[in-house]
Amino acid sequence: MPGNGVIARADRSEGRLVCSLPQERLWFLDRADPATTPPGILAAVRFTGKLDIPTLGRCLDEIVRRHEVLRTNLVESGGTPWQVVRPPAPVPLPVRDITRAPDPERAIDESWAREAGTPFDLATDPLLRAGLLRAGDREHVLLLNIHPVACDSRSIGVLLAELAALYESGRHGTTSRLPQPPVQYGDVAVWQRERLGHGELDHHRRYWRTHLAGATALVLPADRSRSAVRTARADTVGFRLTPEVTAAVEQRAAEAGTTPFAVLLAAFGVVLWRWSGQPEVLVGSTATGRSAPQTTSLVGLFATTVALRLDLRADPTFGSLIDAAGIECEAAAAHQAVPFEPTPSEPMAGDTGVVPPVSVTLTLRDTPPARLRLDDLVIEELPARAVTTNFEVALELAPADGGLEGQWKFSTDLFDRDTASRMAGAFAMVLERGTAHPDEAVSLLPLITEAESTRLIAELSGHGTPVAELGPRTLHGLFERSVDQAPGAVAVVCGERTLTYRELDERANRLAHFLRANGVGAEQLVGICLPRSELMIIATLGVLKAGAAYVPLDPGYPPARLNYMARDAEATVVLTHSSVTVAEQLDADIRFVRLDTEWATIAASPAERLAAGAEGTGLAYVIHTSGTSGPPKGSANEHAKVVNTLHGVNEVYELTPADRMLAISSLSYDMSVYEVFGTLAAGAAVIVPSDAETIDPGRLLDLLVGQQVTAWSSAPALLDALVTHTRGGMPGVRLRVVGLGGDRMPPALPGRLFELIPGVRLLNLAGMTESSYCSLAYRVTHRSYPGGVPWGRPYPNQRVYILDRHGRPTPIGVPGELFIGGAGPGRGYWRRPRLTAQRFLPDPFSTEPGSRVYATGDHARFRANGDVEFLGRLDKQIKIRGFRIEPGEIEAELSTHASVNEPVVIAFDEDLGEPKLAAYVTPRGEKRPTAAELRAYLTALLPAHMVPSVYLVLDRLPLLPSGKLDRAALPSPTTGRTALSGMSPTVLRAAEPQTGNGFAPREPARPGWHRGAGTTAGA
């Protein structure tokens, strides 16, 4: 707002005046979306004693007469708002009697909330509304609601002081001694515009443009998903800073040569930094904007929000951060004459980027709420009752009884009260510790007490649910127990071929004897390179019974990749089939055992079980991860730990011998471990589809019906593709339980599945190949999860930790890195000791010698109910136009479009410019969505920076053999497009594929319905 200078009375001959910059901004916000307009400035005054109501009414009339802005409307002319001052008029003062209300205080709250929710018409309505509540003969409450274009918080103090002075003189019949305002708010607006026109404020604009260049908008992890439409509904958590802490704040400020506000800002910044995980935070604060002496006693919108930018990426000490905060506050105060947010009529010239909005604010009142006594009448300003805010978080502090009274105001569209309470408690704790230890790094300042940290470890991490180990400790031992219990039960079905548990056991025993006779023994890796059939099951069991471990070699992989994996595993024996021609291209020193042509030799081996095999600590398998960069890594897992996982998964599946599990996953994908060994451990039947059935949704559906499959386990994309293919229900399908893992579950998939198969049990399974296949499970019960389906809680004997950079537990709601401990972590990476040492670390919370945790690299947090929520990969964060983007949020909204089946959102670069977003979607039903439809749909739901620039409609998404999305095989967003943006997007045909599906996948994409092909919708 205005700097030093003399404000003159403006010419009013035209009957209108220009708006101030803050007024203009609010007017444009109100026109664009009334929901984004800040709520009215509400004030409540309690009168205790005998109140003269007519005199009170005349006082309000006089205040409105004195201050033109309170009887001003903003009227549009030529697309621009103008101030039009109305003649003075009586202020309506309706009186509502609440003396008979059961709870008068609640009646006051309800009246305040009702008034807060009543909108203003800026062009016609009076900008000050008043109402009086009669709570008793000697108790009344005055409610005032003033639109923010006409008032700010400092103006409320001016108004109440005038009200008290006018009431006192009016009650005694004397003339008021209040001097007439020297100028009016409209004069200030004209003066400000003249200064802008003469370039007097250009250096302020240059400062904000330069200072905020490259700033990142603060995004706090919320309890509910964000959308473009958000109300001003809010709540507040109160807390108190003791006189001792307040004194420490003042002392630290004095020692640093700054203000107490800078100390409070530093502590607030630490909490926001730790909660968001961003390298810097942007905090808004209110500047008075009353630098011109004539504005001191005026009512009007003088206050502006200044942006305070704190960079914490270097992990400064708290004392250093106080110094930086002080410098930041001084600079902001010096440049408060111009709002940092440009307005449509006064954009920041030369600005090439978007100024990030302020989503959190910090306010420190310099005086407590007013309390006056006029003879026998006590006038007292009440604290806010109905809470509204257009910020995500607004921290307000005010002096009270030697300390500071805090109000942590939060948007209830985003946060739960418990979350706000934890943040407020963390602020108080950081402030107390930081002022006492200013030389401590801010990352070390505690957010929770030791007791809360202990509780997190003891309860949420899984320590509180130990389960005694029962039964066999090897994978084949679990199977053999089922053989002994029901030898004649069906174990494996593949096409027309069926094996009972006894038959499967005998064949696996013969293979085990054969392998032993050929030099295979403990800890040796045997390759399995087989097409889908019952031979896969026989091979894995035979290898394990021989005391060895298996390494899957998918026949669909390129020969070079298979060669690398076989050499890495040091496999001298590979079990294969005569139809697998790729095996002939592997190293010549490998002994290939073709189970079809050599079975007669194998069958001559004994059918009895080997006397000695692997122990629980023995190696069970090595599965190579996909390897997005560099060669694939082999993850080695031991029997007993995988057995523990299978017990946990079977418990959430509630699997019984009556179930029939579809083994759809490749052996190279660790979900196959459960599909085979978890099923056999439960005495159920493994249904093995042919390769052709896994790639044809029609044939797969027939298999589900024909084989009466009751249990499903796969990556989400496989089931999503089947659900998409299905029209009009799934008659005859008997699926009882479905487990999905390995990738994000599409947010809309649960609802569509529940429609097709009512009553189905749906599980979200989460884990890593490095940690015994699976570590957490969540029972999906809702039809849709806009913020993403939670990962749930750990299995018995597994532990999950969410830790900060110092290895300390993060509070509930605060993101950190997810670590898996307990019985989860495997041995490590095969023949990669250095990498194993980097990712498999000593467990700092375990009392068991040698216990380790696996560092997943996943960004996660605990929800209040104890569930783990996955937030993304720590190494794959996207930043666009100063905003940190989580693609999952955009995918969640896209999935709610009626014509969208499965969405995928990625970031891409074009011509080394700023990253842009591309959305890939598969159509739901016959109608293919257009780019214009999708853009319009997302624009109504998401902020502009989250709306993709490019839309590609694919018939199918490309998948890896594991069933996961093959992101490397997605078509380039620039393929077949002439522009990335435009007002009239068109749908263009993608280039015709050259071979197969036209992609160059990191791993070979599955043929048929898994491939990505379709149209590009460029927007």
pLDDT (tens digit per residue) in 192-251: 888 877 777 788 888 888 888 888 788 888 888 776 567 778 889 999 999 999 999 999
- Give 805 or 584, the one with higher predicted confidence: 805
Q: Does residue 1012 carry a pLDDT above 60?
A: no
- 255 shares a domain with 360: yes
Residue that terminates a domain, selected from 403, 425, 448: 448
Q: What is the pLDDT of residue 832?
A: 93
pLDDT averaged over every residue in the chain: 86
Q: Per-residue pLDDT averaged across 164-191, rounded?
A: 91
Question: Per mean pLDDT, which range of 193-202, 423-432, 545-554, 671-680 is the poorest?
Answer: 193-202
Strands 128-136 and 304-311, by their bridges, are: unpaired
Q: Does residue 1014 carry a pLDDT above 60?
A: no
Q: Is residue 132 part of a domain?
A: yes
In Å, how far are 297, 310, 499, 662, 731 from 707, measured between CA atoms?
84, 62, 14, 9, 14
Q: Is residue 956 part of a domain?
A: yes
Highest mean pLDDT among 339-343, 925-929, 942-946: 925-929
Closest CA to 970 of 985, 946, 950: 950
Residue that terminates a domain, selected from 425, 448, 471: 448
Q: Is residue 255 part of a domain?
A: yes
Q: Is residue 652 part of a domain?
A: no
Question: Per mean pLDDT, which range of 184-188, 319-323, 876-880 is the poorest?
Answer: 876-880
Distance between CA 62 and CA 58 in Å, rounded?
6
Q: Does residue 909 carry a pLDDT above 80?
A: no
pLDDT band of residue 6 (cuts 50, 70, 90) is: confident
Q: Per-residue pLDDT averaged across 369-387, rounded?
A: 76
Question: Per mean pLDDT, which range of 348-362, 529-543, 555-569 is the poorest?
Answer: 348-362
- Give 329 or 877, the one with higher predicted confidence: 329
- 222 shares a domain with 159: no
- 233 shares a domain with 102: no
Q: Per-residue pLDDT averaged across 386-392, rounded?
A: 77
User: For residue 928, is it left (φ>0), alpha (ψ between -120 and 50) or beta?
Assistant: beta
pLDDT (tens digit per residue) in 106-119: 898 888 888 877 88
pLDDT band of residue 626 (cuts 50, 70, 90) is: low
Q: Is residue 772 part of a domain?
A: no
Residue that terminates a domain, selected from 421, 448, 475: 448
pLDDT band of residue 518 (cuts 50, 70, 90) is: very high
- 106 shares a domain with 246: no
Polymer length in residues for the chain: 1019
- 244 shares a domain with 139: no
Question: Per mean pLDDT, which range of 92-101, 386-395, 399-408, 861-870 is the poorest?
Answer: 386-395
pLDDT band of residue 630 (cuts 50, 70, 90) is: low
Q: Is residue 706 part of a domain?
A: no
pLDDT band of residue 964 (cuts 50, 70, 90) is: confident
| Domain count along the chain | 3
Q: Per-residue pLDDT averaged across 462-466, rounded?
A: 60
- 263 shares a domain with 345: yes
- 220 shares a domain with 161: no
Q: What is the pLDDT of residue 978?
A: 31
Q: Is residue 488 part of a domain?
A: no
Q: Does residue 464 carry a pLDDT above 80?
A: no
Q: Per-residue pLDDT averaged across 758-775, rounded?
A: 94
Q: What is the pLDDT of residue 593?
A: 95
Residues 963 and 995: beta-carbon distance below 8 Å:
no
Distance between CA 431 and CA 267 in Å, rounded?
5
- 305 shares a domain with 161: no
- 266 shares a domain with 128: no
CATH of the domain at 97: 3.30.559.10
User: 95 φ, ψ to 5°?
Assistant: -110, 125
CATH of the domain at 929: 3.30.300.30
pLDDT (tens digit per residue) in 967-1008: 778 888 876 443 323 222 233 323 222 222 222 222 333 322
Q: Is residue 461 part of a domain?
A: no
Q: What is the pLDDT of residue 480?
A: 97
Residues 403 and 431: beta-carbon distance below 8 Å:
no
For 915, the domain range is: 886-968
Q: What is the pLDDT of residue 977?
A: 40
Q: Does residue 894 carry a pLDDT above 90?
A: no
**H or E, element range at 717:** helix 716-725
User: How much of the chain is in helix, strand and coil states, percent to nearest 5?
Assistant: 35, 25, 45
Question: Per mean pLDDT, which range of 338-347, 736-745, 941-950, 1008-1017 is the poorest?
Answer: 1008-1017
- 120 shares a domain with 196: no
Q: Does residue 708 carry a pLDDT above 80?
A: yes
- Give 436 or 587, the one with higher predicted confidence: 436
456: which DSSP letter?
A: I
- 237 shares a domain with 161: no
- 320 shares a domain with 200: yes
Strands 549-552 and 525-529, by their bridges, are: parallel
Q: What is the pLDDT of residue 166?
A: 93
